[in-house]
Amino acid sequence: MSDEAKRSAAEAAVKLVQDGMSIGIGTGSTAEHFIRLLGARVADGLSVSGVPTSDRSAELCNQLGITLTNLDDTPVLDMAVDGADEFDGALNLIKGGGGALLREKIVAGAAKRFVVIADASKQVDVLGRFPLPLEIISMARQPLSRRLTDMGADVTLRLAADGAPFRTDENHWILDCAFGPTIAKPAELSQTLSSWPGVVEHGLFCAMTERVLLGSNDGVRTITL
Ligand code: 5RP
């Protein structure tokens, strides 16, 4: 999918930003377009404050002069904008391909509106083609892997480039769980996974998304429920 499609979606999201807003700022290549476009508007005089969902998004915001805040000082955000790895017809998401799902979910949950920016490659009928990321406490790796395998998932510990376990910004591990395109009841799976000891967070975002801005080379389509 072309980078242009991601950029179009990000452009549509930046148009939703108004002066004085507090914005949750996502992570990933689509969110990076959003950050760069937001930075351009800030350079033109827009006044916003952002809560970033990862250290790398925070770094980019700092480079671009976007004022950052946090959820202690700004517990309710006007809007959060982020990418997704998959979304279905009910606007349930899989997120966490970039490893930022925990902060992403906290920030999206703190926002009055959660806007997803995506290209058509992310749109699916049934979630699960993309392996579902689970952020876990390292001690729980084997018990959780067994439970997940029993549910039919193919489980892989995410590794960093040096071959060591990938560590999230909150210093946890990630299990990537390939269910196949078979997560027919995401809300149920979400509740089950959240109840397991050792799961810090999982990448299913159910009933959180207000709209998806779906970018293509021909423009942007807004998908709402
Ligand atoms: C990071 C995420 C990203 O939003 C997701 O991986 C999509 O990334 P991209 O915009 O690069 O396709 O959830 O944790």
Q: At 183, give phi and psi (nearest 5°).
A: -85, 80
- Positions of CATH 3.30.70.260 in the chain: 132-202
State the closest ligand 1 atom to the C-alpha of 118, by its place in the atom list counted from 1.
10
Residue 181 reports pLDDT greater than 80:
no
What's the sign of the alpha-carbon dihedral 144, 128, 91, 158? positive
- In tens, the pLDDT along 37-70 reads 999 999 999 999 999 999 999 999 999 999 999 9
pLDDT of residue 167: 98
Going from the Cα of 27 to the center of ligand 1, the distance in angstroms, rounded, reads: 6
Residue 1 reports pLDDT greater than 60:
no
- In tens, the pLDDT along 93-144 reads 999 999 999 999 999 999 999 999 999 999 999 999 999 999 999 999 999 9
Q: At 125, give phi and psi (nearest 5°).
A: -75, -45
Pocket lined around ligand 1, Cβ cut-off 6 Å: 26-31, 82-85, 95-101, 104
pLDDT of residue 178: 97
Going from the Cα of 100 to the center of ligand 1, the distance in angstroms, rounded, reads: 8
The amino acid that residue 102 corresponds to is: L
The amino acid that residue 211 corresponds to is: R
**Cα-based distances in Å from 220 to 9, 16, 91, 111:** 6, 13, 16, 23
Task: Indicate yes or no: pTM above 0.95.
Answer: yes
Going from the Cα of 29 to the center of ligand 1, the distance in angstroms, rounded, reads: 7
Q: Whose CA is nearest to atom 6 of ligand 1?
A: 97
Structure tokens at 118: 């995506």
Residue 187 reports pLDDT greater than 70:
yes
Q: Whose CA is nearest to atom 1 of ligand 1?
A: 98
Q: Whose CA is nearest to atom 8 of ligand 1?
A: 28
pLDDT of residue 192: 97
To the question of domain 3-121+206-216 being in CATH 1.10.540.10, the answer is no
Question: Which residue among 53, 95, 102, 107 is best mutated to probe the pocket of ligand 1, counting the most ligand atoms within 8 A of its Cβ?
Answer: 95
pLDDT of residue 180: 82
**Cα-based distances in Å from 201 to 22, 99, 101, 134, 157:** 24, 11, 7, 6, 15
Going from the Cα of 53 to the center of ligand 1, the distance in angstroms, rounded, reads: 11
Going from the Cα of 28 to the center of ligand 1, the distance in angstroms, rounded, reads: 4
Query: Would you tell me the crossing angle of helices 3-15 and 29-43 to the nearest 10 degrees?
Result: 50
- In tens, the pLDDT along 130-180 reads 999 999 999 999 999 999 999 999 999 999 999 999 999 999 999 999 998
Question: Which residue among 30, 86, 127, 204 is best mutated to probe the pocket of ligand 1, counting the most ligand atoms within 8 A of its Cβ?
Answer: 30
Angle at 178 between CA 143 and CA 213, to 5 degrees: 125
The residues assigned a catalytic role are 104
Pick the CATH number of 132-202 from 3.30.70.1250, 3.90.1640.10, 3.40.50.300, 3.30.70.260: 3.30.70.260
Query: CA-to-CA distance for 127 and 100, rounded, in angstroms?
Result: 19
State the closest ligand 1 atom to the C-alpha of 117, by its place in the atom list counted from 1.
10
- Positions of CATH 3.40.50.1360 in the chain: 3-121+206-216
